[in-house]
A and B are shown apart, each in its own frame.
Chain A
């Protein structure tokens, strides 16, 4: 161990600056560019946003939710607080605290809108994810319960039987990973694309 000759402050400052510079090049340029290179060569679709195409046109990302509220022929996703709704350049939650009266007011408005559109359901309870905003504002999924709630409306609008709609929901339900991790969920964009393929309206 050599601690006899003390370090000089200037020498330490010089090393600090040089080492930071070297580490910027290594971890701030070489590392992210290497990952980008490998990702672009081997996993192009995943690395570029998992874009979904229909008839050669990009209609969205499989991972990013879209605003279906008000479109009666489509399954609706969750309310979104990202920008003016599903703004994928402005992600975020509503951040209303659990005791904030504005939260209850907003939820009551969503309930009214859902009940008017899904009148077959009458006063039956609404799955909680369908009236709450997600953390990202871009949640691409709803719970199977939330999809089932909308099945009568979709059947009506698409001229399908409710059983056909429920079967489609089941076919698009993703399970938990290893039966434990995450939740069962339905990807709204993919479900709606499948719906368009099965029973197109106005196309």
Chain B
């Protein structure tokens, strides 16, 4: 790694830790219903919303009701977004004259944005109107993120409470996440983005004549407002096809840094919130530490692999880093970001189930791309999506204490709660569902004619494109090895299944765990209790997370990126 790359990483991590601490305290206050500095402005808005929608904020829900409310809200979200796309051609705010989105694509996109995946089978510049971007996609950027936060908060309440029937009120958690957390930050961030050159208007594409005399059509739109929540809500769906590589979405190194920080901000903040809400900040920092360790390994590896460049490039190409160029594998990367800011962004966006890209992952070196794939495949728990990262991680924490319990022959406990067969059943379910979707659907795609029409690249790289797609879908990440042509009935449908399963088959068992934990009595810690803070537990957790992923995915990795790497080195 270059000195600059190391410095960038150190400064990034320092800023992130600070953000986590600040945001953690704030989130804990927001979701415990305590007073915050924003109350004078937001509390009246909140009360109005409850009055309009008939919500009684004092009335809490058992986990079954909480899950029903979430599923109902998500169902209406899918329907509303599907409908909007299907009729956008006859609605206002469509200066480019986009037609109605075809059914398979509208279904895929509706599911994609509602599940916080933001996989994009469509070419935005040629498909969606400004109204769909705003009232459809931007809305789901907010509410799917808010729903994720709500579930994480509910699970934390399950651990923090004892002998309780309820885990919170979904309507209140959702509303407070939007009003107190997402909206104010997105608003400020959007204006900063505009000041850097991110466009924000309602215009049609603009035609100009370039210096060499060609006609160039430049797409426009309300980009900054969507860009801000796209990052802060770890959504990742680009206003443009090139996503955060597009100069109108991410024009400068400053916007790039802000985007990288806002992807991880809430996931990191939630770890600190967790520590506070269970009454032991060290529990939170242990989670943060494990996530950080796994993230750093990936960030360093990706940067090193990309900086090494591509051995296939002809000798005439100068890939060495120097004072006047970044060097390395610049295929699919932007000059202003070079290698280090592209590799770091890619590691963050895959670790965090964001899926925004500022470089084309398909063009990464085989091993650089493998790190990105693995970041998603471990279950989006390396900070992970907003909310999804924490609840996925806590599931792994319970698995880790269970394994530790087996080794010493004691009933496992986590945060003063006995982890018993009922919880372990749900834990196992949530850990199995994503690999099952990924490997099952990849296998189907690879043995069917219509599946094999997808990949752009030949050989093992084509296999990686398919594997990455279902991993991204089931992991609710949304980034792609974008050479894959996923705009077909086959991929739209199977990826839709992956996204729905990866979201809701996770959420329901997790809420069941939350409800079951909330009802338990708290057991006092004794000398025999396995401590769930500190290095020993952190190391065990890293091990569990990596071993589960390795056992599940190594054969697939071997057939895709690892073979491709060996081929490149061998020069064949």
Contacts and interface: CB of A to CB of B under 8 A. Distances in A.
| Number of chain B interface residues as a range | 35 or more
Interface string B198-220: 11111101101111101011111
B9 to A, nearest CB: 10
A199 B476 CA distance: 54
A9 B457 CA distance: 49
A185 B54 CA distance: 56
B257 A181 contact: yes
A6 B65 contact: yes
A100 B310 CA distance: 11
Given A7-B65, A18-B53, A88 B187 contact: no
A90 B76 CA distance: 32
Interface string B160-196: 0000111000010011001000010011001100111
A111 B314 contact: yes
Interface in B304-354: 309-310, 312-319, 322, 324-338, 341-342
Contacts of A39: 191, 194, 200-201, 224
Interface in A84-113: 86-101, 103-104, 107-108, 111
B210 A183 contact: no
Contacts of A96: 331, 362-363, 456-457, 483
A115 B171 CA distance: 64
B444 interface: no
A29 B135 contact: yes
Contacts of A111: 314, 316-317
A138 B315 CA distance: 26
Nearest to B368: A98
Given A36-B225, A49-B206, A95-B363, A180 B4 contact: yes
Contact of A135 (B195, B332, B459, B465): B332
A150 interface: no
A16 interface: yes
B237 interface: no
Contact of B247 (A19, A23, A59, A63): A63
Interface in A135-167: 135-146, 148
A29 B240 contact: no
A196 B211 CA distance: 10
Contacts of B220: 48-49
A46 B257 CA distance: 19
Contacts of A88: 205, 216-219
Contacts of A176: 4, 253
B143 A66 contact: no
B22 to A, nearest CB: 21
B248 A64 contact: yes
Contact of A59 (B52, B211, B229): B211
Given A3-B165, A12-B68, A39-B224, A95 B324 contact: no
Interface stretch (B55-63, B267-275, B375-383, B401-409): B55-63
Contacts, number: 396
A129 B330 CA distance: 6
A13 interface: yes
A89 B218 contact: yes
A57 to B, nearest CB: 8
B365 interface: yes
Contacts of A27: 138-139, 142-143, 178, 183, 229
Contact of A92 (B328, B462, B482): B482
Contact of B331 (A94, A136, A137, A143): A94
A144 B325 contact: yes
Contacts of B18: none
B525 to A, nearest CB: 26
B325 A146 contact: yes
A182 B564 contact: no
A135 B360 contact: yes
Given A15-B53, A95-B481, A145-B318, A183 B123 contact: no
A182 B203 CA distance: 30
B224 to A, nearest CB: 6
A184 B482 CA distance: 28
B310 A18 contact: no
A145 B322 contact: yes
B559 to A, nearest CB: 14
Contacts of B49: 19, 22
Interface string B76-100: 1100100000000000000000000
A24 interface: yes
Given A12-B65, A126-B316, A134-B335, A97 B253 contact: no
A78 B332 CA distance: 11
A31 B72 contact: no
B165 A16 contact: no
B325 A129 contact: yes
B195 A23 contact: no
Given A3-B62, A95-B332, A144 B72 contact: no
A60 B208 contact: yes
A90 B241 contact: yes
Contacts of B69: 7, 12, 15-16
B567 interface: yes
Contact of B217 (A87, A93, A94, A185): A87
B317 A19 contact: no
Given A86-B216, A99-B312, A68 B211 contact: yes
Nearest to B56: A2
Given A27-B138, A100-B461, A35 B190 contact: yes
B1 interface: no
Kindly name the residue among A9, A51, A94 whose own CB sees the greatest number of chain B CB atoms within 10 A.
A94
A193 interface: yes
Interface in B275-326: 309-310, 312-319, 322, 324-326
Nearest to B213: A71
Contact of A49 (B199, B309, B338, B482): B199
Interface string A165-203: 000000000001100111111000100110010000000
A170 to B, nearest CB: 10
A97 B72 contact: no
Nearest 8 Cβ contacts at the A-B interface: A182-B253, A135-B245, A97-B461, A95-B483, A183-B338, A91-B242, A28-B135, A93-B360
11 contacts: A2-B60, A15-B69, A48-B220, A61-B218, A64-B216, A66-B216, A91-B241, A96-B331, A142-B335, A145-B322, A183-B338
Given A24-B139, A135-B358, 12 more contacts: A2-B58, A19-B53, A39-B200, A46-B199, A48-B201, A88-B219, A95-B481, A104-B314, A128-B309, A139-B336, A145-B322, A177-B254
